[in-house]
Structure 1
Amino acid sequence: MARGLALGDSGPEVRRLQELLTQRGYPLAVDGDFGEVTRAAVVTYQAQNLDSNGEPLVVDGQAGPDTWWSLTHLRPFLLHPPAIDFTVMPLPELGGSARGRHALEAALGELKAGAGEEGGPGAGPWIRKYLHDLAPEGSPWCAGFVSWCFWQDPGGPPFPYTVSARKLFGELGQRGWAHLSGEPYTPQPGDLVVWARVDADGREDHVGLVHHVAYGVLYTVEGSNGPRVQGFTYVLNRMDRLLGYAQVPGP
């Protein structure tokens, strides 16, 4: 195993570290120089992965034995994902675009306000707001919720408002912003996560917002996956019917 590496080191072992980080979805230049960019990648990796005992890695920005082990072994299965406070924004070190993080902040505001259905399934003033007069009450409102969150961006709406998860994912894919399931991509705060649900025509597709990824677990904030806007937890390597992720760049 390579020796411990830290800021200022250089050489073939640093190149190997950079190659492993890139392969695990934390891309950076493979130049053999352990500079600030490499340290930031190590910090992000450590914040999202586990050691050989299934415990969270120490986040110190150094490639010690536990970090090397994690980089060179398959991610262990986490039986009991740690609970988090979904009302708190994820740390900046976990990444995400400015627009995505702004949309996530808007989503957390709705969650804290208790947004959701009132008076029946898919009904009430919150849901009418998310559906934006594009579908009747009673319709799935996950994509409307995500659209509403992004439309709160002070720089203006980054994409057309839609209440269709499949249409939204297609729109972002055409712009080159999507990452299909199976691609080597680690979702970041404010990204969209999209699932195929029941019907092939997309009527039951579902979309939510990524809160963050940590220890092999995806934390999300979603609407229409229950009566209220709320947080959910998924083990990354056990997600069924995942279509992929999308990151809205900018501004």
Structure 2
Amino acid sequence: MPVALTDALRNEYSLLFSRMSLRPERMQDIDRIYRRIMAPGARERYFQVEQETGVPWFFIAIIHNLEASGRFDRHLHNGDPLTGPTFHVPANRPSRQKRSYTWVESAADALRLKKFHKASDSQWTVPDIAFALESFNGFGYRNRYPHVKSPYLWSFSNIYTCGKYIQDGVFSEIAVSQQCGGLSMLRHMIDSNNEIAKFVSAQPLMDDDQDHTQSFPWCDGPEGEEVPDMPAARNVKPYPGRYLVFGIEDDEDVRTLQQRLVYFGFDPGIIDGDFGEVTERAVMLFQARSADLSGEPLEIDGVVGPSTWGALFGPLSVRGQEKGPDILKAPASVLSEAVLAIAAREIGVREFPLGSNRGPRVDQYVTAAGLTPAGRHAWCMCFVYWCFEQAARQIGMPNPCPKKASVHMAWQACQNAVTNGRHDLTVVRARDAHRDPSKVRPGMVFFIDTGGGTGHVGLVDSHHNGALETIEGNTNDNGSREGVGVFRRSRRKINQINLGFVSF
């Protein structure tokens, strides 16, 4: 399927490049390639081709590494030997039939064939380079396996994990490219060479959602006919501002989702707007094979939030949703807001001595929950209760949080309260939160069963697409329940909470 360089595609390239990091275990290989490119004899040849075509020398070097492993006895088109015209695609190049060719004349022909020589200096931004690289290699990944970011561009970086054409027309989901991607090489070049860094500048995001498809030289078809835009880049569908989950019926946003899944080759069943089991399975399969806009794997939960929607519809579709839907930004109640403010001021409190479950402030948490500090108690629930006690006094209301030091006893007390008709708290059990993450709001208390009759508890400070930022007591940087202080953590996921959440 032909592809055009739309604003949506420009933004995709720019965002991924800005979030790219090179894999540490590949840095030695990347630097070895860079030093080979920068060798005087190699750069001289790249400059010769630049003078003949106007194509930047470093872009030629990147293509040369990808197609011919940097060998100067090979055609730039596809790595075939220079002892005759090419015999792989594109075959019979250069067009003038000879017994052999110089590397410079062959390279110039390869670049002219793709019309790269028609581009001006202003058309060599990061998105332009990315599109030129992808067009040189072909759009097989984008058109047939969109869940794989092309290794031709992104291999050796965090944007690419696996999936590869192992020969013409044969794709493997588990094969991993052992070749440095073109944009990974460009990233290292920019970091290492001021000349290249000054020449290349990433295209900024557009100020509106209109399609500004531009006819760059390499957007033309084989006969010079302009290529139509692909459906993936047209008519950006903005994120609806709510989670799409199992059980929604006759919904226009679900219908849009189903159509998009079909476009990418995932069968959601009948396009009817009903989010049933078949649609949920299709979503989970897409998530299993896809990454979010930062290149990180998607949660395989069958829930369509901003991250999954962005992976389906592109970065423009989730503009303004960086911190999640508005409903997920506000605390669940005035009390919850006050609790979070108090808890935030406690971040940095530490046990003294570390590992003792004691300390001046820790003793206050434990005492508030009705225990004697000398008992050296685990104090995560004591911290939560203390925060609610302080906030309730500040507002002038009774503290609705159960006065329990035990995580399991507090969780059971909350469930009993709801059963007995109390309306000042809401319990969201884990399975319901996993099914619909929009039920989890800032200010809620999460409860985890850690096994053996023990547990852990903390406060939800913010929530985005199933990822939680929390404030927790008796923890540490890795989230242990036997920690040494009050920490803010950003590694909890809703589907890791195995008891549930309570809103007071």
Show the counterpart of 2:14: none
Query: Could you list the runs of 5+ residues in structure 1 that have no partner in the other structure?
Result: 8-13, 22-51, 57-65, 74-83, 85-90
| More helix, by proportion | 2
2:353 aligned to which of 109, 113, 119: 119
Alignment of 1:92-131 (within 5 A): 94-95=329-330, 96-111=332-347, 114-120=348-354, 121-131=356-366
Alignment of 1:1-251 (within 5 A): 4=237, 15-17=251-253, 54-55=292-293, 70=309, 94-95=329-330, 96-111=332-347, 114-120=348-354, 121-132=356-367, 133-137=370-374, 138-152=376-390, 153=392, 154=395, 155-176=397-418, 177-183=426-432, 184-186=435-437, 187-200=440-453, 204-225=454-475, 226-234=483-491, 236=493, 239=496, 242-248=498-504
Residues 71 and 98 from structure 1, CA distance in 2 versus in 1: closer, same or farther, beyond 3 angstroms? Answer: farther
Q: Over residues 149-169 of structure 1, what are the superposed CA-to-partner deviations in whole Å (9 max), with x where a residue is unaligned?
A: 111222231133221111111
CA distance in 1, matches of 2:385, 2:311: 39
How far did 1:68 drift?
Answer: 11
CA distance in 2, matches of 1:6, 1:53: 17
How far did 1:178 drift?
Answer: 1.4
Q: How many residues align?
A: 182
Residues 6 and 216 from structure 1, CA distance in 2 versus in 1: closer, same or farther, beyond 3 angstroms? Answer: closer
CA distance in 2, matches of 1:185, 1:102: 26
How far did 1:215 drift?
Answer: 3.8
Q: Give SS of 2:431's match.
A: coil
**Superposition TM-score, scaled by structure 2 size:** 0.32
Amino acid at match of 2:464: A
Residues 55 and 165 from structure 1, CA distance in 2 versus in 1: closer, same or farther, beyond 3 angstroms? Answer: same
Amino acid at match of 2:410: L
How far did 1:67 drift?
Answer: 6.2
CA distance in 1, matches of 2:463, 2:307: 20
Q: Over residues 178-231 of structure 1, what are the superposed CA-to-partner deviations in whole Å (9 max), with x where a residue is unaligned?
A: 11111134321110011111313xxx2110001111143111110011211001
CA contact (8 A) 1:134 1:162 kept: no
CA contact (8 A) 1:103 1:190 kept: yes
Q: Give SS of 1:103's match.
A: helix
Show the counterpart of 1:25: none
Show the counterpart of 1:49: none
Query: Could you list the runs of 5+ residues in structure 2 that have no partner in the other structure?
Result: 1-230, 241-249, 258-289, 295-304, 313-322, 419-425, 476-482
How far did 1:109 drift?
Answer: 1.1
How far did 1:5 drift?
Answer: 7.2
CA contact (8 A) 2:443 2:461 kept: yes
CA distance in 2, matches of 1:178, 1:126: 29
CA distance in 2, matches of 1:72, 1:17: 16
How far did 1:234 drift?
Answer: 2.7
Of the two, which has the highest radius of gyration?
2
Aligned-pair RMSD on alpha carbons?
3.7
Q: Give SS of 1:17's match.
A: helix
* Greater RCO structure (CA 8 Å; 6+ sep): 1
How far did 1:92 drift?
Answer: 7.8
CA distance in 2, matches of 1:122, 1:211: 24
